[in-house]
Structure 1
Amino acid sequence: MHRSVFFILVLSVVFGTAIVFSSHHWFSVWVGLELNTLSIIPILCGSFFPRSVESSVKYFLVQSVSAAIILNVVVIQAWLYSSWSVSQPLSFVASLLVTFAVGLKLGLFPCHYWFPDVIQGVGFIQGLVLSTWQKFAPFVVLVNVVDVLNIQVLVCLGALSVLVGGWGGLNQTQVRKVLAYSSIAHMGWICCTVGYSLSGGCVMLLVYVVINSGVFLLAGEYELKSLSHMGRLSYFSSSGAVCLALGVLSLGGLPPLFGFSIKFISLSCLVSNGSFLLAGLLVLGSLLSLFFYLRVAFNSVLVLFPQHSLVAFGWRNAGTCVSVGSTLRGLLVSFSVSLSLFGLCCLPVLFSFL
């Protein structure tokens, strides 16, 4: 893909998200979502491998169905109430359909089935974009309509997403699928919190984006496609292995790492609103997720993966293992890792936004 074409597509993705951010009219929200989707598709299949093309088609179909549901619901709302305002109250059926459409875009249960396959079929950078930036536009739609949605349905979908994300990642050996199920679980935490505190959900999303970006960039830098590749990471980059372990454990929410703030903020909001059963379900799902986070950390730093000696020392001729210190990617990784280590110092600042 030519550099100027790539630059135009990236600008279109950003512009589509900005339209969703700044719009209070349903038609312009739909236009922003469609512009965002149509611009990201060529970026996903830019390498034009069969697997990436398949993932791009899956992503396009899922996003098209979601946008079509939103457009049909708002057209019916405009026909009944003569209003295209996002803040217009929704009927029970319309509320369920909008929740389903937004959940389909975010990858919530039961609409999560497409997300791990799409992440597995694209590169690490494209997977990072799908797990972070592409969540912003549907999340803004969810924030705008959360006051007129059925909160019980949204909270149930979020809790089931946490459980499914933890359970689905247990049997995975591919790094991108592990991170995909991790994203499903984290979006469940965020959606459960949004039902009770909008500012808390926004803070959790920003913290997750920072930590997840560091993990994706490190895995992409060293081409860690499976857990066996992680077992060889400590041979040629002990600092990279330690940084990856810290990032993964931060995603798991272990104190005193920065990811613990996500769990702490969410549980604080839920307990203060009396949702003790929901808080218990989220903690249970988090324990399931913590199992495969610890497995990734053990494979990258603490134990050596079973492998042949010739494979273990094949890093001597590997050209993909470069330093990450002097590039933009290295700066982003350093920022993410430093936040994972010292991020809890920012916890009082985060609580000031609640």
Structure 2
Amino acid sequence: MSISNLLLFLMLVLGPVISVSATSWPVCWAGMEIGILGLIPLLFIGNSPFSKESALKYFCIQALASALIFVGGMVLFTLLKSYFIYSLVFLMGVCLKLAIFPGHFWVTGVVYGLGWVSVCFILGPLKVPPLAFLSEFNSIFPESVSWVLLLSGVSAIVGASLGNNQTNIRAMLGASSIAHSGWMGAATVFGGLWLYLAIYLLVLVFLLLFLWQGDMFMGSMGVLSMEGLPPFIMFLAKLKVVQSALMAENAFIWLGLPLSGALLSLIFYLKFSYSLLLSSEQFPARFGALSFMVVNFLGVAWLLASF
């Protein structure tokens, strides 16, 4: 790795760290931008023309989203007073960042032409600062919570619908990210956000690692784990959000859309899992496969201990 690439990678890692440790919203916004500026040059590395096209699309969308967040946040977080127009501008910027409906349209087209490492960074760690912004926005302006829950629920449905129309696994993971972003948006209101994000990142990294290595058998297990079926650890993340919603007053009605989206998502997760399973040549006996299985069984043990 060259010095320039190492510097860009450090920017990519330190950006979210600066955002979550900041004490003021401009510094949080600056950390979010540092992470994105570190990632975009790395997306251009490679000879594939699709990677360059995807990088340009991603840059344009992120620049627009950052501008919307800055304009909206400059008024909302400075005056600490809710204005409908600026709240709408801020929410639209966050939706573009997190690929929550109606800002979901760019994900599948961008991740289609990227490598596995780039897909991991776009769908994973760079969600941290926008989620922190959205969580703070919900706590300061509770009158906007209903809009956030509605957009999050619709995002879960839209992500599931898009996933059922995909034939490429990268595009499917992009649609899956839209659905999971809907659950994370709901978790910013109900609770359990950071547990959900941590488990999602863990499962995503394992899945992309298996696909990068060409391990189709464990890739199929990773796809099943992304759905959140009860034997797998992702189920605990969704269960935590549901439990938090049940403890909130009159919040159960908002769970209908995310749960319906999870049911629709099961169709394409099973389809891609079965396709990867048929492509596998033998049962793997490597450390990565063992680690992934142990993680999921720890999730089952945690679930049993909680009851």
**Correspondence for 2:126:** 134
Alignment partners' CA distance in 2, 1:96 and 1:14: 30
Q: Would the aligned equivalents of 1:246 and 1:337 in 2 still touch at CA under 8 Å?
A: no
Corresponding residue to 2:247 among 251, 255, 272: 272
Matched, 1:106 2:98: yes
Change in CA separation of 1:76 and 1:280 when aligned onto 2, cut-off 3 Å: closer
**Correspondence for 2:272:** 296
Q: Whose helix fraction is larger, Structure 1's or Structure 2's? A: 2
Q: Would the aligned equivalents of 2:135 and 2:189 in 1 still touch at CA under 8 Å?
A: no
**Correspondence for 1:255:** 230
**Correspondence for 2:148:** 154
Change in CA separation of 1:12 and 1:283 when aligned onto 2, cut-off 3 Å: same
Q: Would the aligned equivalents of 2:160 and 2:262 in 1 still touch at CA under 8 Å?
A: yes
The one-letter amino acid paired with 1:262 is A
Displacement, 1:294?
0.7
Change in CA separation of 1:279 and 1:159 when aligned onto 2, cut-off 3 Å: same
Alignment partners' CA distance in 2, 1:159 and 1:77: 24
Change in CA separation of 1:5 and 1:294 when aligned onto 2, cut-off 3 Å: same
Gaps of 5+ in 2: none
Alignment partners' CA distance in 2, 1:267 and 1:96: 27
Which range moved further: 154-163 or 8-17?
8-17
**Correspondence for 1:229:** none
Alignment partners' CA distance in 2, 1:294 and 1:20: 36
**Correspondence for 1:243:** 218
Displacement, 1:99?
1.6
**Correspondence for 2:114:** 122
Matched, 1:93 2:93: no
Identity of aligned residues (%): 28
Q: Would the aligned equivalents of 1:119 and 1:180 in 2 still touch at CA under 8 Å?
A: yes
**Correspondence for 1:344:** 300
1:1-46 deviation line (CA, Å, top 9, x unaligned): x522111111111222222112232322222222111111111111
Q: How does 1:1-354 map to 2 (within 5 A)?
A: 3-77=2-76, 81=79, 88-149=80-141, 150-197=144-191, 200-222=192-214, 240-273=215-248, 274-301=250-277, 304=278, 325=286, 331=288, 334-347=290-303
Displacement, 1:77?
4.8
Alignment partners' CA distance in 1, 2:139 and 2:125: 24
1:248-286 deviation line (CA, Å, top 9, x unaligned): 111111112111112211221222223233222222111
Change in CA separation of 1:205 and 1:176 when aligned onto 2, cut-off 3 Å: same
The one-letter amino acid paired with 2:166 is Q
Alignment partners' CA distance in 1, 2:266 and 2:303: 22
Higher CA-based Rg: 1
Alignment partners' CA distance in 2, 1:260 and 1:164: 20
Change in CA separation of 1:221 and 1:36 when aligned onto 2, cut-off 3 Å: same
Q: Secondary structure at the match of 1:121?
A: coil
Which range moved further: 181-190 or 2-11?
2-11
Alignment partners' CA distance in 1, 2:75 and 2:63: 18
Alignment partners' CA distance in 1, 2:38 and 2:105: 23
Alignment partners' CA distance in 2, 1:212 and 1:18: 20
Alignment partners' CA distance in 1, 2:233 and 2:84: 38
The one-letter amino acid paired with 1:244 is G
Alignment partners' CA distance in 2, 1:18 and 1:67: 18
Q: Would the aligned equivalents of 1:243 and 1:337 in 2 still touch at CA under 8 Å?
A: no
Displacement, 1:59?
0.8
Displacement, 1:324?
8.9
Q: Aligned pairs, how many?
A: 303
Displacement, 1:348?
7.1
Q: Would the aligned equivalents of 2:156 and 2:258 in 1 still touch at CA under 8 Å?
A: yes
Q: Would the aligned equivalents of 1:252 and 1:290 in 2 still touch at CA under 8 Å?
A: yes
Alignment partners' CA distance in 2, 1:95 and 1:133: 25
The one-letter amino acid paired with 1:267 is V
**Correspondence for 1:226:** none
TM-score by length of 1: 0.79
Alignment partners' CA distance in 2, 1:324 and 1:8: 36
Cα-Cα RMSD: 2.5
Displacement, 1:215?
1.1
Displacement, 1:338?
2.5
Q: Would the aligned equivalents of 2:71 and 2:90 in 1 still touch at CA under 8 Å?
A: no
